[in-house]
Chain A
Amino acid sequence: MKQTAILFFAFLFILSPATNVGAQSAESIWLEASTLAYKTGETVIATVKAISATPIQGFTFQIRYDPSCLQPINAASPIQGMNGLYLPQTEGLVDASFASTTPQTANGVLAEVHFLALAGCQTNLTLESAGLAIRDASGFAAPLPGVAIDEKNIVLDIDNAAGESQVNPPLLGTPLSLGPTPSPTGSSNWGTSLLIVLVVVGGTVGVMFVFYKIWQSRSANIP
């Protein structure tokens, strides 16, 4: 019985990728999310996946979101050599494009997109458009024809309750910022701000401590 069960699960395991592929078109892109329920302040992760028989040198996708519920953070591709192209963003639409100087196989995750859950809401993430790109004979990026967009919509449930303090999960690949134009000094400014806060708080505590000790010593001297 035990061996039969093992064989059964092994058979399922072998078939599972093929079954998954069979669910999609020959060339297709779709949107996924492993978790659909989040709390406010947590990082929402959406995954753009694709299968393609033709090696690609680029892809692009646009995801519509509700800016009152979600704030895009960044995106990244785990495909080796596929680099994000920073382009201006518009509110309510993640517009991401990646390109590589060499053809790459695309079967699985194209990119991960991270959002910050801003407030309690039930909201949709919609893959508004997407495309795979090849490099034509003249060197120009050209859309790979016949690519279908399968699953376009994800419904997310964000609880109004604040989630636990969460470190932004690491991305697979170099992150592509989806915020305003990145400022190289931004991190140092942020660090400076944090330092100022620490200094002010520390200074206040220190001063209070000094006064407390003085008060304590004077109290002790009272006969």
Chain B
Amino acid sequence: MLQPLPPGTDRFAIFGLPRRYEIDLADLEKRFRDLSWEVHPDRHAKGTARERRVALERTTALNDAYRTLKDPLKRAAYLLELHGVKIESESGRDSAMAKLPPEFLEEVMELREGLVEARAEGDDAAVQRLVVTVKERRAHAVQAVEAALRELPEHPDQERIAAAGAALARIRYYDRFDEEVQGRQDA
């Protein structure tokens, strides 16, 4: 009979996986399908009310965990959350985004000012250069996240965790910049 998940089971444990950034996606997909066979409500349609409820809870947890783990950046953010680091918080405090150094915020300000200027002058080439710059810096940040998290299991020190959090926070800023460029493309 289907049992509820132990309280506090993390999204890696749902798949029987260790808390590691590196994941074999084909293996994850296979585990997802096998577990779906096991826990899906349709497979327990003739069970008792309790069994059906457990099936719903287990499948919900499975689907949510799958959505998190199959996306590299969502997986990274979740892994950091397990290590007590929030990238973004509802109050704007105590998050990796709030802890970014002033130099980085200045960098973002400069990028934005550059964008406003380029736009004001109708300089599309300059806008494109900024887009490329941001894309490159974002790629670097992604590499930084991956490098820090890859070594995390062997070296679970706060420095690495903070570095990964800061890089993920930078990615959010770059994505927002990108959104702003996209959003005003034809304005």
Answer yes or no: are A and B bound together in one complex: no
